[in-house]
């Protein structure tokens, strides 16, 4: 069974396989317990990116649960 990659609790970016610390928010906790998935390609033209305060292209979780 494949394991969920980690997502940052601060910026919600989904990290690459094997990465367990966010490069943008190194002090923020990460979790493999997240839900929702959105791909932002052009944040300047994306209404979703504006609503989620996303400034960089990438894959993002909509909700990250920290235990």
pLDDT, position 1: 45
For residue 22, the number of C-alpha atoms closer than 13 Å in the C-beta half-sphere is 21
For β-strands 58-60 and 30-31, DSSP reports them as unpaired
Domains of the chain: 7-64 (2.20.28.90)
CA 17 to chain centre: 13
26-48 pLDDT, tens digit each:
999 999 999 999 999 999 999 99
Note the pTM of the prediction, 2 decimals. Answer: 0.88
């Amino acid at each position: 069974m494949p394991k969920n990659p980690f997502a940052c609790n601060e910026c919600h970016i989904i990290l690459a396989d094997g990465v367990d610390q966010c490069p943008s928010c190194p002090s923020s906790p990460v979790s493999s317990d997240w839900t929702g998935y959105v791909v932002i390609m052009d944040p300047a033209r994306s209404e979703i990116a504006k609503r989620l305060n996303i400034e960089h292209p990438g894959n993002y979780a909509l909700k990250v649960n920290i235990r």
